[in-house]
Amino acid sequence: MAAIKVHGFHASTATNMVLCCLNEKQVEYDFVLIDLLTGAHKKPQYLALNPFGVVPTIQDGDLTLFESRAILRYLAQKFKGQGTDLLGSTLSEEALVYQWCEVEGQSFNPPVSTIVSQILVVPRRGGSTDEAAVEMNIEKLGKVLDIYEERLSKSKYLAGDFFSLADLQHLPHTHYLISACGKGDLISSRKHVNAWWEDISSRPTWQKVAENMKVN
């Protein structure tokens, strides 16, 4: 059986979210580099796979699928019997996993991705960091993390006492926030958020992926 193909970019947080999930589910894959630096994601060949021209996109046999969070849910469902169970054991647990996945997508991702983009990406493209935008989003992110602190004081992981897709979705951006943006204090200053971060980021499945994300 042909391995799943992942079209992505080594530094892309969305790509690395998917690679981590493949590791958790013990699924083999082939990585196809879409070099964002040369604009490969906007060329007709890639747009035929993903009309929005963003990474990653996977191919599993006849199925072509994009949007990292949708890919995560597909992998977690298809490979439910192997590797780490990432969806909980009951319908109610699964609902809570989806709830915290949505929180990541709607409340955590917007401020953290703006911070990472302004500090890490904009200067590399010849622009200058918008410090006001960074400050505003640090404040926003802080308020979200205060709620996480309360949640994680009562629950080992976001959806319950089990590691799930919801926790996994937070790995790539938090990694950049700490290791490349110098904003680790947002995490380390919050006791339970910090303990949760130490736990999830020490998973070998993630450490393998984090190797791709070293920033000089």
Q: Which residues inside 172-201 make contact with another protein, applying CB under 8 A?
A: none
Q: By C-beta, is 23 or 109 nearer to another protein?
A: 109
Q: Among 177, 168, 158, 162, which residue's Cα sits nearest to residue 201?
A: 168
Min CB(63)–another protein separation in Å: 5
Helix (H, G, I), strand (E, B) or coil at 163: coil
Amino acid at 52: F
Contacts for 4 with CB less than 8 Å, ≥ 6 apart: 22, 27, 28, 29, 30, 58, 59, 60
Cα Rg of the chain (Å, integer): 17
- Cβ contact 10:33 at 8 Å: yes
State yes or no: residue 147 binds another protein (CB under 8 A): yes
Q: Nearest approach, Cβ of 102 to another protein (angstroms)?
A: 4
When asked if residue 132 is in the footprint of another protein (CB under 8 A), the reply is no
The residue within the footprint of another protein, chosen from 3, 33, 37, 63 (CB under 8 A), is: 63
Positive or negative: CA dihedral 210, 38, 71, 25? negative
139 binds another protein (CB under 8 A): no
Measured from the CB atom, the residue of 51 and 204 that comes closer to another protein is 51
Residues contacting residue 153 through CB under 8 Å, at least 6 positions apart: 191, 192
Q: Determine the Cα–Cα distance for residues 166 and 96; give it in Å rounded to an integer.
A: 9
Residues 80 to 119 in contact with another protein, rule: CB under 8 A: 91-92, 94-96, 98-99, 101-103, 105-107
Q: Minimum distance between the CB of residue 202 and another protein, rounded to whole angstroms?
A: 27
Residues that bind another protein (CB under 8 A): 51-52, 62-63, 65-70, 73-74, 77-78, 91-92, 94-96, 98-99, 101-103, 105-107, 144, 147, 150-151
